[in-house]
A = this chain, B = another copy of it.
């Protein structure tokens, strides 16, 4: 039996209801969005849009009703999400809370923390960011230096986080800090905290992307006081919790769908009766897309059935990122487009963006090197 096994998944019929609801919603909510903004997909955030999504009950939709959730099935959430991604909806702001931070709080948080944080998340009033990477840490996430020192009634944090996506627009951070030991101790002595980004002592410095966009930040902590009830989970359990969280991050449909809006534009840019070369190029792309969707669905189905398809999720990321990163090159090759940033057409502007942004796809959520290493271990390579 192979170590990696994708069980085919049939979506239950009830997911078709929410699929249609999301489509209807997006048709209206995205009517005014230019194609080049939709091409940014989940890299783009829009607070107004997030609140509209919240009003429909689609943030934290699988969570218990007592925390503001809708107790919908994981597969309904999957369908909601793939529809958002297929249109390139700007989910960037509520995305982290829905995907990672909420589930983390639900699993490891205290009852008080759940009651405090989950309902605002579902209302689109609490956006989260992740404070994990540090200067010089790179893929080596465990080499955390930012320290939370125990003081009376709480903790005092000093240090710097970097590559914090959306920190400047978020309300809270889930921060991974060292509560004991030294960076050489690596996975030992790390803990996770809920950090209100408005706390005194926090300074957010923008990191401008090469696209000219502002998404990443450096976040400096200088004597930031966190009360005892801001610790999430156990002291020293941070790494274990992060690993579970990274699994949420690695397995979703966003790992192959980021460039679907660009694909749509590319097919629209070709004629209805394309030449042989364009037809073959589009056909290979579509074969990948259709198969990756089956793989992603399979992971969702296995998760839903209570299995642990961690390795399969990693495989989807490996293939999905390769697929996504190839799209700008295919679009460039088939159209010979020369994008102009100011007065150019939407296709060119979209292509300019995804060409640049795609290089980051194999960095986020685990670099290609890390991902392949995980698969290799899963194969039993010694």
Interface residue? A277 (CB, 8 A): yes
Docked CA distance A277–B277 (Å):
5
Count A interface residues, CB 8 Å: 4
Interface residue? A276 (CB, 8 A): yes
Docked CA distance A275–B275 (Å):
9
Contact with B along A262-298 (1 / 0, CB 8 A): 0000000000000111001000000000000000000
**Chain A interface, DSSP helix/strand/loop, else mixed:** helix
Docked CA distance A175–B275 (Å):
57
Identical copies in the complex? 2
Contacts of A275 in B (CB 8 A): 276-277
A362 to chain B, nearest CB (A): 20
Nearest-neighbor residue (CB-CB) of A333 within chain B = B280
Docked CA distance A277–B275 (Å):
9
Contacts of A277 in B (CB 8 A): 275-277, 280
Nearest-neighbor residue (CB-CB) of A276 within chain B = B277
Contact with B along A93-124 (1 / 0, CB 8 A): 00000000000000000000000000000000
Docked CA distance A277–B279 (Å):
10
A360 to chain B, nearest CB (A): 24
A340 to chain B, nearest CB (A): 26
A228 to chain B, nearest CB (A): 47
Contacts of A280 in B (CB 8 A): 277
Docked CA distance A101–B275 (Å):
53
Docked CA distance A275–B278 (Å):
12
Docked CA distance A280–B275 (Å):
13
A329 to chain B, nearest CB (A): 14
A147 to chain B, nearest CB (A): 32
Docked CA distance A98–B276 (Å):
47
Contacts of A276 in B (CB 8 A): 275-277
Docked CA distance A275–B280 (Å):
13
A285 to chain B, nearest CB (A): 15
Docked CA distance A256–B275 (Å):
32
Nearest-neighbor residue (CB-CB) of A280 within chain B = B277
Nearest-neighbor residue (CB-CB) of A281 within chain B = B277
Docked CA distance A276–B279 (Å):
11
Docked CA distance A140–B367 (Å):
31
A279 to chain B, nearest CB (A): 9
Interface centre among A275, A277, A280 (most CB of B within 10 A): A277
Docked CA distance A276–B281 (Å):
12
A381 to chain B, nearest CB (A): 16
Q: Which of A60-99 contact B (CB under 8 A)?
A: none
Nearest-neighbor residue (CB-CB) of A279 within chain B = B277
A74 to chain B, nearest CB (A): 41
What are 6 A-B residue pairs whose CB atoms fall within 8 Å in the complex? A275-B276, A275-B277, A276-B276, A276-B277, A277-B277, A277-B280
Minimum-distance CB pairs A-B, first 6: A277-B277, A276-B277, A275-B276, A276-B276, A277-B280, A275-B277
